[in-house]
Structure 1
Amino acid sequence: MDKQTTKDDYARVKDDLQVLRDDIASLTKAFADSQKASANNLKDEISREARAVFENLRERGDAALTRATEAGSKTVESVEHKIEERPFLSIILMFLAGVIVGKMLDR
């Protein structure tokens, strides 16, 4: 009877080990699935943050471009106004500027 008890104990241990292997396999699968879901959530969050940052940069760039365009327009209008006030002086100044640039390029 001692041999039979040993065989039964061996069979029970063998069955318990198989159950333990199955449990470890399912636990490993569940952990991998959890990590995959976490990675997907992290990817989605990073994507949302990147879109928000890009949108913010685009808005700031548009605002800077608008300010630069307005400043350029004001400068052009100011120059046009000064040229209209003193056209002869403007022509002389442009001529002198051309002469100076020409002399600098001759060297």
Structure 2
Amino acid sequence: MEKQTAKDDYARVKEDLQLLREDMASLTKAVADGQKANASNLKDEISREAQAVFDNLRKRGDAALTRATEAGSQTVEGVEHKIEERPFLSIILMFLAGVIVGKMLDR
């Protein structure tokens, strides 16, 4: 009778070990799948953040380009206005600037 009980206990321990192995395998698989999902989520989040930064940078660059274009246009309009006010003086100044640049390039 004791032999049968020992065999039964051995069989139950063997079954319990097999169940434990199966549980460990499923737990390991679940953890690995969870880590893959976390990595995928992290990748998506980084991608969204990078896109947001890129969009913000593009908007700021467009705004800076618009400001620079407006400032350049205002400067050109100011110069044109000055030339219209004093055309003779503007021609003399351009002539003198050309002579000075020409002399500097001769050296």
Pairwise TM-score range, normalised by the shorter structure: 0.7 to 0.9
Q: What pairs with 1:33-48 in structure 2 (closer than 5 Å)?
A: 33-48=33-48
Q: Which runs of 5 or more residues in structure 2 are unaligned?
A: none
Q: Name the TM-score, length of structure 2 as normaliser.
A: 0.88
Percent identity, aligned pairs only?
86
The answer for the alignment partner of 2:25 in structure 1 is 25
- 2:10 maps to which residue? 10
Number of aligned residues: 107
Q: SS where residue 72 of structure 1 aligns?
A: helix
Aligned counterpart, 1:59: 59
Unaligned 5+ runs, structure 1: none
Residue of structure 1 equivalent to 2:71: 71
Partners of 2:6 and 2:82 in 1: how far apart?
112
Q: Give how far 1:11 is off.
A: 2.3
Q: Distance in 2 between matches of 1:7 and 1:104?
A: 110
Aligned to 2:105: 105
Query: Matches of 1:72 and 1:98 in 2, distance apart?
Result: 23
CA RMSD of aligned residues (A): 1.5
Whole-angstrom CA distance in 1 between matches of 2:10 and 2:106: 104
Q: Taking structure 1 as the reference length, what is the TM-score of the superposition?
A: 0.88
